[in-house]
Amino acid sequence: MTHLALAAPAAPCDDAIDPFRERAARRHAVSKRILGAEVRFEADDEAWLALIEAAYGDLPEHRFPLPGPVLRIELRLADHVDAASLEAPPPVRMRSGAGLLGGVMDAAHYAMIAPAQRKALVVASPAMLARHPYHVRYELIEFAVFVLAQRAQGLVPLHGACVGRDGRGVLLLGASGAGKSTLALHSLLGGLDFLAEDAVFVEPSHLLASGVANYLHVKDDACRFVEDEGVREWIRQSPTIRRRSGAEKYEIDLRDGRGQLASAPLELAGVMLLSDQPAERLLTPLSPNEAIARLTADQPYAAGLPGWAEFCRRCARVGAYRLARARHPDVAVAALSAWLDA
């Protein structure tokens, strides 16, 4: 991490002089290598730095074959709002127009992204940072980083997980409840390299996958498969977060050395489409046409973006499989390990 103190220009308080707050002071700068890009965060208050470290501190620096772009994200505090009004953070609504993309909670909490300029602005009140740092980090800051990195590099964004070994990775896709997070957890515990659990970004021409391996989110029932008491304690001592769906999950920080994080992008060697149904055969190969159809149904947003056709062609070439529900996640991990070693 590079943390620079910026010169603080005079900040006029007269709206007649600076009605758009263009001269507001940006006192702090932090640079991170994320998803192949150099992301420079410029903040007007030190409170932002803790969120940046929580999201991106001590992570492997991934690079793609081509030099990564420089992305700039400005972090600004909004005017103070009544803390009582933030008992629950407002839902995020997506907006677009005039070349801008946005995620808007309300007038004081939003992210606005200019992909063509490789810039974004994130705004939140001090009360929101204090009461709901998870939502600011996950729904505003990470949203801006993901969108900029994806658009600037032509990456294919996927809702899924990815694990691997020796530079080769396997993509884990499937509907909510199929067991992606539980399988990712046991893959980590079973010695596989962990790349991402929730969002995977693939450079389609080389089928290289990157992600942010900061947290793993699992429900308490995932612990029923964990026999090691120390691991169960590690999970259950983690903070809990509440998804917009209402589901509560442990947010497990993966940077404490319990598992191996992928040190570089993984070259995808196959795609596993998880099923919540058991079957006599754990791994069933899919035909190229079936693989592409299932991928498209599983990832409707990515399927409409440039790079999708190339991604599908290459996935069909390396192979896609139906991964049935195993009697225990470790059985599925053993199958993935054997498949990667073959």
Could you tell me if 21 and 148 lie in one domain? yes
Could you tell me if 218 and 323 lie in one domain? yes
Angle at the Cα of 312 from the Cα atoms of 305 and 169, rounded to 5 degrees: 105
Amino acid 6: pLDDT: 54
Angle at the Cα of 268 from the Cα atoms of 187 and 36, rounded to 5 degrees: 95
Closest to 11 in 3D by CA, of 128, 75, 20: 20
Could you tell me if 185 and 297 lie in one domain? yes
Give me the phi and psi of 325, to 5 degrees please: -65, 125
Q: Alpha-carbon distance 209 to 89, whole Å?
A: 32
Amino acid 4: pLDDT: 54
Amino acid 15: pLDDT: 73
Please report the DSSP string for 40-109 in residue order. EEEESSTHHHHHHHHHHTT------SSPPPEEEEEEEEPPP--GGGGSSPPPPEEEEETTEEEEEEETTE
Could you tell me if 216 and 280 lie in one domain? yes
What pTM was estimated for this model as a whole? Answer: 0.92
Q: What's the order of all strands across the beta sheet hosting 248-253?
A: 215-218, 248-253, 240-242
Could you tell me if 185 and 305 lie in one domain? yes
Could you tell me if 145 and 172 lie in one domain? no
Residue with structure tokens 């983690």?
238
DSSP state of 18: -
Could you tell me if 59 and 172 lie in one domain? no
Domains identified in the chain, total number: 2
Amino acid 257: pLDDT: 81
H-run or E-run covering 324: none
Could you tell me if 138 and 199 lie in one domain? no
Could you tell me if 280 and 200 lie in one domain? yes
Which residues are registered as beta bridge partners of 123?
76, 110
Closest to 134 in 3D by CA, of 149, 148, 124, 146: 124
Could you tell me if 320 and 182 lie in one domain? yes
Q: Alpha-carbon distance 150 to 259, whole Å?
A: 27
- Mean pLDDT by runs of 10 across the 342 residues of the chain is 50 69 79 98 95 96 95 94 81 96 96 98 95 95 98 97 97 88 95 96 97 94 91 94 88 91 97 92 95 95 96 95 94 94 85
Closest to 163 in 3D by CA, of 197, 141, 189, 194: 194
Could you tell me if 123 and 209 lie in one domain? no
Q: Alpha-carbon distance 24 to 296, whole Å?
A: 45
CA atoms within 13 A on the CB side of 245: 5
Q: Show the domain range for 267.
A: 157-341
Amino acid 8: pLDDT: 47
Last residue of a domain, one of 125, 153, 181: 153
Amino acid 5: pLDDT: 52
CATH at residue 198: 3.40.50
Last residue of a domain, one of 115, 130, 153: 153
Last residue of a domain, one of 127, 153, 179: 153
SS (H, E, C) 76-88: EECCCCCHHHHCC
Amino acid 25: pLDDT: 66
Could you tell me if 131 and 86 lie in one domain? yes
Q: Alpha-carbon distance 228 to 13, whole Å?
A: 58
Amino acid 27: pLDDT: 85
Q: Alpha-carbon distance 244 to 88, whole Å?
A: 10
DSSP state of 204: T
